[in-house]
Amino acid sequence: MKIKSVRARVFEWKGKTVPPQGNFCSNAMDLVYSNTESMSTFRFHSWTVVEIETDDGIIGLGNVALAPAIAKAIIDQYLTPLVLGQDPWDYEYLWQRMYRATHAWGRKGVTMAAISAIDLAIWDILGKSVNKPVFKLLGGRTKEKIPVYYSKLYRTNLDEMQAEAQKYKDEGFTAFKMRFGYGPAHLQKGVAENLKSVEAIREVIGYDNDLMLECYMGWNLEYAKRMLPKLEKFEPRWLEEPVIADDIDGYAELNQLSSIPISGGEHEFSLYGFKQLLDKKAVSVVQYDTNRVGGITAAHKINALCEAYSVPVIPHAGQMHNYHLTMSTLASPMSEYFPMFDVEVGNELFYYIFDGEPVAENGFVQLDDNKPGLGLTMKTEFLDQFNIIE
């Protein structure tokens, strides 16, 4: 079996979107003066889909959400020549070819995300070629089903947030993640607003359910050090990405500061990067995304690394490429879960492009032992809502 072709297409959403709201989610741009809504730079309304076909007709699907047009160019110009004509079962060799050939200008960010898309498609091929789901190739089933936490609860009107939390609590979820809407630029008023929102969600879900708090890199070290003591009484399971991803020492200081575990890794991109985080005790929860860190080949190694450090892995964003990793290791106790929703930030697009994503029932998702590969197919229902760039 050899790789015959690689096709990368950008799917640009042109359908209905939810309009931006002020203080929707704190983010790294909040500290920079701008005349536009700060979250606008973190909205991604396009996605790159990779289809790799073998000489015996198997097609594997991969995807990348970061800077899709740039990722497509990297795949077309640099990565495709490295895998054409190769045996997909030599996945480690192919991964090293892509990683090392682009190392001078790649290593992290969009290049690693592009490598991830190729790697995901290769693993989809491997599963399909032996008629097994990918998680069976990685170690098999370690859980009867995967516990998931409900992840949305962006900062809106508090009554709306409470109604949203109540709705999904009634559906059986026992863990919830909410977003802060305010950071250092909003001064003491923002501190008060942040505390009000946490109190409002705790009022609905109580203290017998988990609550996770996300900053999305929208705070700085000084602000986070002021906030952590104020948040302890709410007993959060973790505080996510309080500072920008490059401030590893800041993460490490915060992780030792209070009883609140610090989580991160959504914006880390390599095995070496996660080793640095773990060596510095910078995070108590690792949250890589398989379509960013180098695909399944890299994520499988990160799982083993985290297991050795006794740090749990709870991947970012749900999605099938992450669920297969979660199912196949004890290092990962649960996964994130987004319901299908109107296109807002952009991660919703996954559910408009692909069929096969499991729907949560009573706070769990299930993977099918009899569905080969990643278990995804291309969805046709919404094709007319995309501009598709070959």
Please compute Rg for the chain using Cα positions.
20
Residue 333's alpha-carbon distances to 6, 85, 207, 239, 356, in angstroms, are 34, 38, 20, 17, 22
Instruction: Decide if 219 contacts 249 (C-beta within 8 A).
Output: no
Instruction: Decide if 128 contacts 60 (C-beta within 8 A).
Output: yes
Q: Report how far residue 267's alpha carbon sits from residue 288's, in angstroms, rounded to the nearest whole number.
A: 7
* Strand, coil or helix: 239: strand
Beta strands 285-286 and 262-264, pairing class: parallel
Spot the catalytic one: 45, 186, 300, 316. Answer: 316
CA atoms within 13 A on the CB side of 344: 12
Residue 251's alpha-carbon distances to 56, 80, 277, 284, 305, in angstroms, are 48, 37, 9, 10, 19
And the tokens for 171? 């559906």
Instruction: Decide if 353 contacts 378 (C-beta within 8 A).
Output: yes
Residue 278's alpha-carbon distances to 122, 252, 275, in angstroms, are 29, 9, 5
- Residue 294 Rama label (left phi>0; alpha psi -120 to 50; beta): left
**Is 45 one of the annotated active-site residues of the chain?**
no
Q: Report how far residue 292's alpha carbon sits from residue 113's, in angstroms, rounded to the nearest whole number.
A: 4
Q: Report how far residue 320's alpha carbon sits from residue 262's, in angstroms, rounded to the nearest whole number.
A: 25
Give the position of tokens 């959403």: 13
Nearest to 220 by CA among 25, 31, 24: 31
| Contacts of 213 by beta carbon, 8 Å cutoff, 6+ apart | 177, 178, 180, 198, 231, 236, 238, 239, 240
Q: Report how far residue 289's alpha carbon sits from residue 308's, in angstroms, rounded to the nearest whole number.
A: 19
Catalytic residues: 316
